[in-house]
Amino acid sequence: MKAEDFDEKFDQGEDVTALLDLARAQRPGEEQRRVNVDFPVWMIASLDREARRLGVTRQSLIKVWIAERLEHPITRAA
């Protein structure tokens, strides 16, 4: 199918999901990359307590907290 035909179907509100190869779909900027961070034992224990309280994994908690901080950085007075 030509791109023009696809665009026309989409613009007319037709369901084009059957025409997509979703197994190969990617979101730009969402690639994963592993990092290692060393935390003191007391901090890990605190993270684990909070993760249990919220019913999530430690990794999920850390990701959410870092994402929140990056979305709303602390502004410092110059």
Say if 36 falls within a structural domain: yes
Query: Does a structural domain hold residue 28?
Result: yes
Given the structure tokens 């979305």, which residue do they identify?
Answer: 71
Is residue 58 included in any domain, yes or no? yes
Which range marks the domain in which residue 38 is found? 3-71
Helices (H), 1-78: 3-11, 41-54, 58-71
The answer to whether position 53 is within a domain reads: yes
What local confidence, expressed as pLDDT, does residue 77 receive? 61
Residue 76 in any domain: the answer is: no
Residues with Cβ < 8 Å from 61, sequence gap 6 or more? 47, 50, 51, 54
Residues of the chain below pLDDT 50: none
| Structural tokens at position 69 | 């901080």
Asked whether residue 50 is domain-assigned, the answer is yes
Number of domains in the chain: 1
Predicted model pTM: 0.59
Q: Determine which helix (DSSP H) or strand (DSSP E) holds 76, and give its type and residue range.
A: none
Amino acid 47: pLDDT: 97
